Every structure is written in C-alpha cells, then in structure tokens.
C-alpha cells in the first residue's frame, strides 16, 4: 500500500472515531433527519461504571441500538426493532467507545433525542 493511501485510510478511521457527546455535557437534538436506509449515530468513549441516560422519539419506526466494538465483534447489549420511542439508563460494563445508533427504513425518519453520561461513582 502506498504511503498516501495508508495516510488516507488512517484519516478515515480516525474521522470515524470522533466522540459526539461527553460526560458532563448533555446532548439534545431535535428534528434530526435520517435519510431512507441511512443512520444517525452518537458516540462516546466511556469507562466501566459509567451510565448512558438516553431518551428518543422518531417520526417513523427505526432500528435502535447501543453498541461497542470488541476487536472485530459488534456487541449490541441494547437492540430494538421498529422503535418510535425509547428511554433508559444503560450501564457500561467495559471501557470502550459506545455508540447509540438509529437506522431508518425506506421512508427515512426525523429524530429527537437527549443523551447524557452519568459518570461512575457519581
């Protein structure tokens, strides 16, 4: 692989690894469009004992999941099909980058959501 191509691959991987929410900074978005067969994702690097407090509403059914990657494995401890709303406090068992993801169907969807990280021991 050429040096330039290796740099582009490294950049692409790094660009995908950006956290979109952090502890101590609640994140609320309203009217987020998700195009047909596309997804919207919010991610944070968390440690064991943290908790993700989340709630969302969607104008049309979406597939919702909270997941992390462990090597090549995609681990989704929370997964809901055909969801138009959801909420909960998800405990984090392992230090990983955790993501909340909404996948739209053929009609797309509009999302409203609130997220916050509750730090371990607080």
Each residue's pLDDT tens digit, 58-79: 999 999 999 999 999 999 999 9
User: 9 is written with which tokens?
Assistant: 């691959």
Percent of the chain past pLDDT 70, that is, above it, reads 85
Q: How far is CA 17 from the centre of its chain?
A: 11
CB-based contact 22:70 (threshold 8 Å)? no
Q: For the chain, how many structural domains are there in total?
A: 1
Full domain range(s) for residue 104: 3-118
Each residue's pLDDT tens digit, 25-47: 899 999 999 999 999 999 999 99
Q: Look at residue 95 in the predicted model and tell me its pLDDT.
A: 92
- Measured between its terminal Cα atoms, the distance across the chain in Å is 47
Q: Look at residue 17 in the predicted model and tell me its pLDDT.
A: 54
SS3 content of the chain, % helix, strand, coil (to 5): 10, 60, 25
CATH code of residue 28? 2.60.120.680
Q: Look at residue 85 in the predicted model and tell me its pLDDT.
A: 98
Q: Look at residue 2 in the predicted model and tell me its pLDDT.
A: 52
């Amino acid at each position: 692989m050429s040096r330039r191509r290796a740099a582009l691959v490294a950049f692409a991987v790094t660009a995908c690894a950006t956290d979109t929410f952090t502890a101590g900074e609640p994140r609320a978005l309203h009217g987020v469009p998700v195009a047909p067969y596309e997804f919207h994702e919010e991610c944070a690097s968390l440690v064991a004992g943290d908790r993700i407090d989340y709630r969302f509403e969607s104008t049309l059914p979406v597939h919702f999941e909270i997941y992390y990657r462990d090597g090549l494995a995609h681990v989704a401890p929370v997964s809901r099909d055909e969801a138009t709303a959801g909420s909960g406090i998800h405990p984090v068992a392992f230090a990983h980058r955790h993501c909340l993801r909404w996948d739209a169907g053929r009609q797309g969807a509009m999302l409203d959501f609130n997220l916050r990280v509750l730090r371990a021991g607080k």
